[in-house]
């Protein structure tokens, strides 16, 4: 089946993307809702999660993505593969991740990944960047004690900007990492690796 065609970027501040999401009901989307949860923010076509959900049955995997056709396609692929520990959700994470996660049971979220988010290079577009203070607060509020946020990008200034936002949060401690700690690489990571470009990575752990 051909890949779903989508715009490369969408403006998260456009009226269409200012919708109010329904809170995600974990018990309705996973076969075993009590498993620890990994959340991938900005998961694109979900290839990272499709593979992770296949190799790690001890966790549930939730991907949030602003390009809705990719969410539909991801859920179709998960169903076809019989992965009942994987779900994708249409969500504008820079505006309303808090609403989407409002019904998440406490201490379930053990890991969050933010991998190669769109840099929105121009200064006038900086407000469109996905990782902002609100997103960091939402992630930290839901993260279980000892839970980890893995952040990586090949764009140095964006890495610096994101790391500062996570460092500012006193509930987190920073962990240096050289390697991706997961057994699966995202599409973007593979592309960056092929070009031999550096990748800037950190883990932030909830105290
Ligand atoms: C450069 S791609 C990287 C995708 C994937 N994480 C990877 O590493 O291959 C960035 C992804 O973040 C999504 N994205 C950007 N802004 C978003 C937002 N506000 N909420 C949710 N997803 C967003 C984009 O649509 C795109 O799929």
Q: Cα–Cα distance between 56 and 65 in angstroms, integer? A: 21
Q: pLDDT tens-digit profile of 135-163? A: 999 999 999 999 999 999 999 999 999 99
pLDDT at 58: 98
Q: If you average pLDDT over residues 156-177, what whole number do you get?
A: 97
Separation of CA 65 and ligand 1 centre (Å) = 6
Alpha-carbon torsion (187, 193, 198, 202), positive or negative: positive
Measure CA 34 to chain center: 20
Separation of CA 17 and ligand 1 centre (Å) = 14
SS3 186: coil
Q: Which ranges in 101-180 belong to alpha helices (H)?
A: 133-142, 156-167
Annotated catalytic residue 40: no
| pTM, full prediction | 0.97
Q: If you average pLDDT over residues 164-170, what whole number do you get?
A: 97
Q: If you average pLDDT over residues 46-52, what whole number do you get?
A: 98
Residues within 6 Å of ligand 1 by CB: 12, 42-44, 64-67, 91-94, 115-118, 130, 186-189
Q: pLDDT tens-digit profile of 13-48? A: 999 999 999 999 999 999 999 999 999 999 999 999
Separation of CA 64 and ligand 1 centre (Å) = 9
Residues with Cβ < 8 Å from 112, sequence gap 6 or more?
38, 39, 40, 41, 139, 143, 147, 148, 149, 150
DSSP 191-203: HHHHTT---EEEE
pLDDT at 1: 57
Using 50, 70 and 90 to split pLDDT, how confident is the model at 7?
A: confident
CB 182 within 8 A of CB 146: no
Q: pLDDT tens-digit profile of 93-136? A: 999 999 999 999 999 999 999 999 999 999 999 999 999 999 99
Select from 3, 44, 74, 187 the residue to mutate for testing ligand 1; criterion: most ligand atoms less than 8 Å from CB. Answer: 44
Please tell me the residue having the least CA distance from ligand 1 atom 12. 42
| Residue 2 pLDDT > 90 | no
Select from 45, 49, 66 the residue to mutate for testing ligand 1; criterion: most ligand atoms less than 8 Å from CB. Answer: 66
C-beta neighbour count of 176 within 10 angstroms: 7
């Amino acid at each position: 089946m051909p890949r779903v065609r989508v715009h490369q970027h969408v403006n998260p501040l456009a009226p269409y993307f200012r919708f109010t999401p329904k809170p995600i009901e974990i018990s309705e989307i996973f076969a075993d809702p009590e498993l620890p949860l990994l959340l991938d923010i900005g998961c694109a076509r979900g290839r990272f999660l499709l593979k992770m959900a296949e190799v790690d049955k001890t966790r549930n995997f939730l991907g949030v993505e602003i390009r809705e056709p990719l969410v539909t396609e991801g859920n179709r692929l998960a169903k076809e593969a019989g992965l009942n520990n994987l779900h994708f959700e249409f969500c504008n994470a820079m505006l309303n991740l808090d609403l989407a996660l409002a019904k998440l049971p406490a201490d379930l979220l053990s890991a969050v990944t933010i991998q190669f988010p769109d840099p929105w290079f121009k200064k006038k577009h900086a407000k469109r960047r996905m990782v902002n203070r609100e997103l960091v607060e939402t992630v930290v509020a839901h993260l279980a004690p000892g839970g980890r946020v893995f952040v990586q990008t090949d764009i140095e200034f964006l890495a610096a900007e994101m790391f500062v936002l996570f460092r500012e949060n006193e509930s987190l401690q920073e962990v240096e990492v050289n390697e991706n700690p997961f057994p699966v690489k995202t599409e973007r990571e593979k592309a960056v690796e092929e070009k031999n470009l550096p990748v800037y990575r950190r883990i932030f752990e909830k105290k």
